[in-house]
Structure 1
Amino acid sequence: MGSSIQEQSGDDVAQRLLDSAATLAYDPATEVDWDTPLDKDFHGASPEWSTLYGTAYWREMSEAQRRELTRQEAASVASTGIWFEMILQQMVLRDIYAKDPTGAEFQWALTEVAEECRHSIMFARGAKKLGAPAYRPHRVAVELGRAFKTVAFGEAAYAAILVAEEVLDVMQRDWMRDERVVPFVRTINNIHVVEESRHMKFARDQTRKRLAGAGEARRQINALVIAIASYVIVTSMVNKRVYAEAGLDVERAVTEAKANEHHKSMMRSSCSGLMEFLASARLLTKPALVFYKRAHLI
């Protein structure tokens, strides 16, 4: 009886998301202005979100260098987004494999995968238009991601999905409203924020649903797995190559970025709602907190 009610609740959430997707969805191929040449008088992201904002190096940089850096950083975040969206799609498809295709959860999952495919193409085109190379996470992160997408299931998969989406969501809400950011990037961010809000609702619902029947040992193990995945995702967002592409001294830039308390504070504030959710799900265990603190998420 309890399982049936829980399944019905999940289907109710999925049906509402399907209805939302039918009402409000975007086609980036036509919604984004891909034809207008890049205007280098604009930033690629809100300057306050730059890894160097507030540092001595930032104060020494010209406005043109600052704008180039934020464009490269935005492209790096987009490239990391593509990497994780590919992991996400595989986990979701594996989760619904052989499940009832007539159910709303199955159909919503495919809808989410379709949206993620469009987002990845949108991010790829956006990064190219920003004049950035193909940024990729460190080889270790790539291999960890390969393992994670293969073995993660249930709450570990959906909570990790939620972490990646929530962190991006807060920064992109700032960027899409910021008139200093190049218009086509603002459009990309708006599309992503609107559609990812549905994905986050589903991930939260699935995390709660999967945890409902979890024992303490499973909760402890998956809390740590989610925290490690979160650490890898967040620390992979800005590739150190962005500094070279912006014409900066890479060694100095990396050193100042690592010590940048302003950026750490921005990351913590962006994750306050996420941390509240993880705490309510009893996923902020002591071992997990070590990784969230190292990633400056709490």
Structure 2
Amino acid sequence: MTMTSQVRQGETSGREVIAQRLINGSVKRSYEPVVDLDWDRGPETDRYFLPPRVVTLTGTELWERLSEEQRIEVSRQELANILSVGIWFENLLNRTLLARLMTADPASASTHYALTEMGDECRHMVMFGRAIEWSGARPYNMRLWERAVMKALPNALRGSLLWVAALVGEEIFDALQREMLDDPLLQPLVARLMQVHVAEEARHIGFARDGIMRRKPTRSRWETFVAANGHAMAGVLFQRLFTNPAMYRRAGLDGRAAARAARSNPHFRDVQVRGFASLAAFFEDAGLMSRLSRYGWRRGGFLP
């Protein structure tokens, strides 16, 4: 047996151990959002749907001119927008994992954990959709070109790039949720939603990070190149998604003017940098942060 095959065999067996551990964790600590959240308790009129310190307009002249009621409405629309984006990305992850399972070993622990993760994501999508309805807002739909990209991506996400995409779609939201969920100004149901999501996403993030690091010693130069550069535009995309002009219009503001104010807002940039910091450090350690991807994330406001 060659050294490379020995490494790959060790990689596979180690992956199976991690997968089984995560399956056991899922058995011990999983949630059913339909019954674990108090959907019958309506929103409180004096609570925010996102803490003011993470709302994209906080600190701008526009924000200072808004009444408390208007600020809460902006937070409601921003929550609905973020949850809508979350649904899109979890849908993308599930479709990509499901396609991979067509050729995977159906008896392996890693396959079983992938199915477990997909079940978690399905419940999260239900939770997000119900939370949008509960909040009194409406979901935000993808534009035609966004739908086209989302349909094509499962065919492109392979090897390390799959796990890079999973982390980009999960870890930035997770980092921000961790600093928000105990905020006293937050709606109690939203805080509970974040607690559920953070607890279950921790397993998903661990599985994705492990997948990347186990491939590091054996991945080809081409795989490294694709994975390191494939997320270069994600920063700009996420900034645009987080500052969707439609959500400001629904809150009664000039959508384009508000989006411009948010994108040039130093306070919002600080929020973005905090949300990306842990993932940026991981990509550096994994050798998957190229000059191009650094430029893209910096252009989007996620790197200082």
* TM-score of Structure 1 vs Structure 2, range by shorter chain: over 0.9
Aligned pairs (5 A) from 1:230-245: 231-245=236-250
Indicate the residue corresponding to 2:52 in structure 1.
47
Alignment-mate amino acid for residue 183 of structure 2: D
**In structure 2, C-alpha distance between the alignment counterparts of 1:159 and 1:19, rounded to whole Å:** 24
Indicate the residue corresponding to 1:271 in structure 2.
276
Residue 118 of structure 1, aligned match among 123, 138, 142:
123
Indicate the residue corresponding to 1:71 in structure 2.
76
Whether the 8 Å CA contact 2:76–2:135 is kept in 1: the answer is yes
Tell me the TM-score normalised to structure 2 length.
0.94
**In structure 2, C-alpha distance between the alignment counterparts of 1:99 and 1:251, rounded to whole Å:** 46
Aligned pairs (5 A) from 1:127-276: 127-229=132-234, 231-276=236-281
Whether the 8 Å CA contact 2:177–2:198 is kept in 1: the answer is yes
Q: 1:44 to 1:189 in 2, by over 3 A?
A: same
SS at match of 1:236: helix
SS at match of 1:270: helix
- State the Cα RMSD in Å: 1.5
Residue 95 of structure 1, aligned match among 83, 95, 100:
100
**In structure 2, C-alpha distance between the alignment counterparts of 1:230 and 1:119, rounded to whole Å:** 24
**In structure 2, C-alpha distance between the alignment counterparts of 1:127 and 1:119, rounded to whole Å:** 12
Alignment-mate amino acid for residue 25 of structure 2: S
Indicate the residue corresponding to 1:280 in structure 2.
285
Indicate the residue corresponding to 1:290 in structure 2.
295
**In structure 1, C-alpha distance between the alignment counterparts of 2:72 and 2:34, rounded to whole Å:** 26
Q: Identity of paired residues, percent?
A: 31
**In structure 2, C-alpha distance between the alignment counterparts of 1:196 and 1:234, rounded to whole Å:** 22
Deviation at 1:190, TM superposition (A): 0.6
Per-residue CA deviation, residues 64-89 of structure 1 (Å, 9 max, x unaligned), is 11111111101110000000000000
Deviation at 1:143, TM superposition (A): 2.0
Deviation at 1:233, TM superposition (A): 4.2
Deviation at 1:170, TM superposition (A): 1.5
Q: How many residue pairs align between the two structures?
A: 298
Per-residue CA deviation, residues 8-42 of structure 1 (Å, 9 max, x unaligned), is 11011111111110100100000111112222211
Residue 24 of structure 2, aligned match among 19, 28, 43:
19
Whether the 8 Å CA contact 1:160–1:230 is kept in 2: the answer is no
Deviation at 1:210, TM superposition (A): 3.2
Q: Are residue 29 (structure 1) and residue 34 (structure 2) matched?
A: yes
Whether the 8 Å CA contact 1:38–1:130 is kept in 2: the answer is yes
Per-residue CA deviation, residues 241-262 of structure 1 (Å, 9 max, x unaligned), is 1111111122321121111111
Which stretches in structure 2 are left out of the alignment for 5+ residues? 1-5
**In structure 1, C-alpha distance between the alignment counterparts of 2:152 and 2:116, rounded to whole Å:** 25
Alignment-mate amino acid for residue 168 of structure 2: V
Per-residue CA deviation, residues 86-134 of structure 1 (Å, 9 max, x unaligned), is 0000111222323222211010000000000000010000011112122
Whether the 8 Å CA contact 1:267–1:296 is kept in 2: the answer is yes
SS at match of 1:85: helix
Which stretches in structure 1 are left out of the alignment for 5+ residues? none
